[in-house]
Amino acid sequence: MVRRQRTVAITIAGVLIIAAASHGQTRTSGSDYPERFGFGRAATHGEIDAWDIDVMPDGHGLPAGEGTAATGAGIYLRLCASCHGREGEGATAAPLVGADPESTPPFGPRYEAWRGDRPDVPYTIGNYWPYAATLYDYINRAMPSNAPGSLDADQVYGLVAWLLAKNGLISNDAIMNAETLPTVDMPARGIFVPVER
């Protein structure tokens, strides 16, 4: 009985595929349909460039602008603290700060074993992110969660600087921009292990 049902299902699927293929050929090769439907237009180069906002780990794609921990502090308190905690310790959203000795893993080959020994330690910018430039990319495209993409380049650089300084990865007066951000030495760069989701 099961074998017969499987055979019938395969036959029906084959007929549907053949019908869809022949229908598709009629639609694309027939003259019944106009080449254009009278709405829409090709995107301009400026419109395409506006959507091209990705930043690579090596910093390729970082825009002009700059920020420091001081310029990012107020922005963080206003836009980020309600979800991530006043000091980045986490609240309704994940913690962002955690590079102190208690929460920083022993970087090296025992990383995975350390995670197993310390399941209470959350992943943070200070102990997990392998590249500083991708922090810019994520904040720029996805934060704040209620208004993603609403921050200008200086604001994002300021937030990145504040977060890196809070994690002890740069000094409070370091200026983050397209040249300096990719050079930040992230502790997890050599041992990054993706989270299974």
Q: What is the mean pLDDT of each run of 10 residues along the chain (197 residues)?
A: 69 68 51 78 88 92 97 97 94 83 44 53 82 96 94 98 95 97 90 66
Q: Shortest CA distance to 67 belongs to which of 188, 163, 149?
A: 163
**The pLDDT of residue 108:** 42
Provide the CA 84 distance to its chain's centre, in angstroms.
17
Q: Tell me how far apart the alpha carbons of residues 44 and 109 are, in angstroms, rounded to a whole number.
A: 49
**The pLDDT of residue 138:** 96
Torsion, CA 84, CA 88, CA 90, CA 94, rounded to 10: 70
Query: What angle, rounded to 10 degrees, do the helices at 69-79 and 153-166 form?
Result: 100
**The pLDDT of residue 1:** 65
Q: DSSP letter for 89, please.
A: S
For the chain, state the CA radius of gyration. Answer: 25
Adjacent-strand bridge partners of 143: none
Q: For domain 54-183, is the CATH number 1.10.760.10? A: yes
Torsion, CA 178, CA 182, CA 183, CA 186, rounded to 10: 140
Name 66's Cβ contacts closer than 8 Å, sequence gap at least 6. 154, 157, 175, 176, 177
**The pLDDT of residue 38:** 81
**The pLDDT of residue 121:** 67
Every domain of the chain and the residues it spans: 54-183
**The pLDDT of residue 63:** 96
Q: DSSP letter for 148, please.
A: T
**The pLDDT of residue 85:** 94
**The pLDDT of residue 196:** 66
Which pTM was predicted? 0.69
